[in-house]
Amino acid sequence: MKRVFIHTFGCQMNVNDTLRMSEALSSMQYSPTPTAENADLIILNTCSIREKAEDKMLSALGRYRQVKLQRGALIGVGGCVAQQEKNRILERVPYVDFVFGPDAIQKLPEIIGRVEADRVRVVETAWVDSESYVFPRADPNTSRGKATEFITVMKGCDNVCSFCVVPHTRGREVSRPFTEVLQEAASLTTVGVREVTLVGQNVNSYAGGISFAQLLLRTAQVPGIERVRFTTSHPQDLSDELIEAFRIEPKIMSHFHLPVQSGSNQVLERMRRHYTIAQYLGQLEKLRAARPDIAVTTDIIVGFPGETDDDFEKTYQLAEQVRYAGQFSFIYSPRPKTGAAMREEEWGSVAHDVKIARLERLNAMQKKISVEFNAKFVGATVEVLVEGSSKTDATRRFGRTSQNTTVNFDGDAPIGALVKVQIQSASAASMSGKQLSVDSLPAVMIPEAMVAPEVCVA
């Protein structure tokens, strides 16, 4: 048996792709190892959403060079930077053996076979066009040890947000047929999975035979599935039908990630987002009417080209008004081939120190609101799906609430149990409490999770 170490950067799409890579490699007798030092094959599953993500990949590559020198390990680069840079990675990093895009995961055995047999360097970044694309089918055994798992429901993105590299790295939207999604959910329940998160770059424009709202409702009906989540959404495509699904199906969890990006209509127009703040707020109002306890989270970009002090104030005020449960805010970074990068000179760059100051102000405000949001639960009893032992204290358990907040608690319930936890304290990022009761157990007992793979949120 040979060993493979896969270092994952970026979003849930990549986390899922990593699982599919290890499945493809198991046919070549590669088994996963949690550290690079004893690996025979090292793969970086990369992200190119922001400059920082690419820098992280390059510095990781530098570290793995040693392993190559010592053990002769093969090094491959996959994911979004691979798709974007193609053979430029081989030119820039002489010790990389192969480069493959997100559509080439199932070809990994063939690629590695060629590298091993002929000692050639390989680049495989062809798109697979919509009609012929077959989504890799997950092997439920890969999910053993988990109470919650992701299911890919679509790939690519047909929007043209002017800041975003995704259409260039992941191509056109292709939806997975709904029957495959439902089958995958059912197969995951056979190893004890009770919560699934449907993932895609823009799930609201899902077109796999039924609407996305219907897909969520049908997934919730799969025997053994107790909780359903999804990510990520574009406000432009958020339908009333989806909002209605929150009203009628309690198995859809009370969390909605709805990236707003900016609170200024002028900036939104240059971002090519196709909605106004008034429309966005209208959607939130309907959503909160349908599910009063819903936690709304968002993504915000500061320092987009031409963003004035006044534009930023509008973003700040919006975030204060909406009172997001959580916010992921980023400093704008120009990405290759994007509309905003090409027009940055015309619209005007924002000075780096101004960007930093704006980000810090937003983060400070959000921290305060997140603390207040979580503090409301102190004293209350919440339902938690147990995911394993707490990352900070192995004698405790951890899981998440319907609102997607992490809870660390004193208790002994096995992975996959739905438990009632009384909340005793809360911070911006998590809550702490004690187990009161075990409400239900998974159909099959789940073994305590082994070593989690390395993931860097870029």
> Which positions lie near ligand 5AD, rule CB under 6 A?
49-50, 163-164, 259, 261, 299, 301, 330, 332-333, 335
Alpha helix locations (H) across 43-161?
A: 51-71, 79-85, 87-92, 108-118
Please report whether residue 107 would count as binding ligand SF4 according to CB under 6 A.
Answer: no
Q: How far is the CB of 15 from ligand SF4 (least distance, A)?
A: 9
Nearest CB to ligand SF4, comparing residues 331 and 438? 331
Instruction: Tell me which residue of 370, 384, 406, 220 sits closest to 297, measured CA to CA.
Output: 370
Please report whether residue 13 would count as binding ligand SF4 according to CB under 6 A.
Answer: yes
Please pick, from the candidates 6, 21, 41, 49, the single residue that binds ligand SF4 as defined by CB under 6 A: 49
Nearest CB to ligand 5AD, comparing residues 271 and 385? 271
Instruction: Dump the DSSP string for 152-184.
Output: E-EE------TT--HHHHH-S-EEPPHHHHHHH
Nearest CB to ligand 5AD, comparing residues 316 and 330? 330
- Phi/psi of residue 287, nearest 5 degrees: -65, -45
Please report whether residue 203 would count as binding ligand SF4 according to CB under 6 A.
Answer: no
Residue pair 420/368 in contact (Cβ under 8 Å)? The answer is: no
Q: How far is the CB of 127 from ligand SF4 (least distance, A)?
A: 15
Nearest CB to ligand 5AD, comparing residues 10 and 388? 10
Instruction: Tell me which residue of 140, 138, 133 sits closest to 154, measured CA to CA.
Output: 133
Please report whether residue 6 would count as binding ligand SF4 according to CB under 6 A.
Answer: no
3-state secondary structure of 401: coil
Query: Total residues contacting ligand SF4 (rule CB under 6 A)?
Result: 13
Q: Is 278 exposed, middle or buried (CB count within 10 Å of its CB: 0-12, 13-18, 19+)? A: exposed
The Cα-based distances of 402 to 174, 250, 294, 332 in angstroms read 29, 10, 9, 31
Residue 212 partner contact from ligand SF4, ligand 5AD, none using kind-dependent CB cut-offs of 5 to 8 Å: none
Residue pair 28/112 in contact (Cβ under 8 Å)? The answer is: yes
Please report whether residue 47 would count as binding ligand SF4 according to CB under 6 A.
Answer: yes
Please pick, from the candidates 48, 175, 366, 403, the single residue that binds ligand SF4 as defined by CB under 6 A: 48
Residue pair 348/305 in contact (Cβ under 8 Å)? The answer is: yes
Please report whether residue 44 would count as binding ligand SF4 according to CB under 6 A.
Answer: no
Nearest CB to ligand 5AD, comparing residues 24 and 49? 49
Nearest CB to ligand SF4, comparing residues 146 and 170? 170
Nearest CB to ligand 5AD, comparing residues 3 and 234? 234
Please pick, from the candidates 18, 22, 125, 169, the single residue that binds ligand SF4 as defined by CB under 6 A: 169
Please report whether residue 57 would count as binding ligand SF4 according to CB under 6 A.
Answer: no
Site for ligand SF4 in 63-92 (CB under 6 A): 79-80
Which of the stretches 45-53, 107-115, 209-217, 364-372 binds ligand SF4 when contact is defined by CB under 6 A?
Answer: 45-53
Q: Which residues pair with 455 in a beta bridge?
A: 8
Residues whose CB is less than 8 angstroms from the CB of residue 350 and which lie 6 or more positions away in sequence, other chains included: 302, 303, 304, 305, 306, 307, 332
Q: What angle do CA 398, 400, 403 make, to 5 degrees?
A: 160
Residue 175 partner contact from ligand SF4, ligand 5AD, none using kind-dependent CB cut-offs of 5 to 8 Å: none
- Phi/psi of residue 393, nearest 5 degrees: -150, 105
Please pick, from the candidates 21, 57, 154, 166, the single residue that binds ligand SF4 as defined by CB under 6 A: 166
Residue pair 257/284 in contact (Cβ under 8 Å)? The answer is: no
Q: Count other C-beta atoms under 10 Å from residue 222's C-beta.
A: 20
Q: How far is the CB of 216 from ligand SF4 (least distance, A)?
A: 21
Please report whether residue 303 would count as binding ligand SF4 according to CB under 6 A.
Answer: no
Pairing of strands 418-426, 397-400: unpaired
Please report whether residue 188 would count as binding ligand SF4 according to CB under 6 A.
Answer: no
Residues whose CB is less than 8 angstroms from the CB of residue 315 and which lie 6 or more positions away in sequence, other chains included: 262, 263, 264, 267, 300, 302, 362
Nearest CB to ligand SF4, comparing residues 170 and 396? 170
Nearest CB to ligand 5AD, comparing residues 341 and 436? 341
Summarize as ranges the residues that interact with ligand SF4 (CB under 6 A). Answer: 10-11, 13-14, 47-49, 79-80, 165-166, 169-170
